[in-house]
């Protein structure tokens, strides 16, 4: 089971950093119950092993003038691996697309987009997304408000599963 290779201290380090990636190593060590030097070694190991993929600030998009958030469901004409990869590459180069997920089901991709205004998003939609190679259909949904936006994983659920399987 994923997460089982990590010991409880590693998982606690990950949970604490997921909640606050800016805390000092000394504070992190205190919260997980070990001294600072081994805590730092563990964090570096978790980074090297890919459990920690990076650190970032949680930016309030609206404060920066990005008033529009849209989810776009994209259907492609071809689902050949080369066509899927080509579409993913295009998405990486479009700055308004913040997330791109390939799905199983009625649509091939869901994209989370942000824009300063509806006009900017509409221009992107009509000039770029709808005219992109292999795009067959796009359905959009404008976000009215966000009720929850938690990063990462629920560590309490992971710990519960691990304790049942121990």
What three-state secondary structure class fits 135? strand
Q: In the sheet where 68-76 sits, what is the strand order?
A: 97-102, 109-115, 68-76, 135-142
How many other CB atoms are there within 10 angstroms of residue 6's CB atom?
18
Per-residue pLDDT of the chain (166 residues; tens, 9 = 90+): 455 589 999 999 999 999 999 999 999 999 999 999 999 999 999 999 999 999 988 899 999 999 999 999 999 999 999 999 999 999 999 999 999 999 999 999 999 999 999 999 999 999 999 999 999 999 999 999 999 998 889 999 988 888 888 7
CA 131 to chain centre: 26
CATH code for the part of the protein at 62-142: 3.30.70.920
Per-domain residue ranges of the chain: 1-57, 62-142
What three-state secondary structure class fits 3? coil
1-57 with 62-142: one CATH topology?
no
Instruction: State both tokens at 131.
Output: 């005219």
Find the DSSP H helices in the chain. Answer: 8-19, 25-32, 36-48, 81-93, 118-124, 155-165
What three-state secondary structure class fits 93? helix
Determine contact, residues 114/66, Cβ cutoff 8 Å. yes
The fold adopted by the segment(s) 1-57 is Arc Repressor Mutant, subunit A (1.10.10)
User: What does pTM read for this prediction?
Assistant: 0.85
């Amino acid at each position: 089971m994923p997460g089982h290779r990590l010991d409880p201290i590693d998982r606690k380090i990950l949970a604490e950093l997921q909640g606050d990636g800016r805390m000092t190593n000394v504070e992190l060590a205190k919260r997980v119950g070990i001294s600072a030097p081994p805590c730092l070694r563990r964090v570096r190991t978790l980074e090297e092993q890919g459990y920690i993929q990076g650190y970032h600030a949680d930016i309030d998009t609206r404060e920066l003038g990005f008033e529009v958030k849209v989810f776009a469901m994209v259907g492609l004409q071809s689902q050949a691996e080369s066509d899927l990869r080509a579409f993913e590459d295009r998405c990486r180069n479009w700055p308004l697309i913040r997330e791109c997920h390939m799905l199983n089901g009625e649509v091939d991709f869901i994209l989370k987009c942000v824009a300063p205004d509806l006009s900017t998003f509409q221009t992107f939609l009509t000039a770029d997304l709808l005219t992109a190679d292999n795009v067959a259909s796009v359905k959009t949904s404008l976000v009215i408000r966000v009720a929850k936006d938690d990063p990462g994983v629920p560590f309490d659920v992971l710990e519960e599963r691990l304790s049942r399987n121990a």
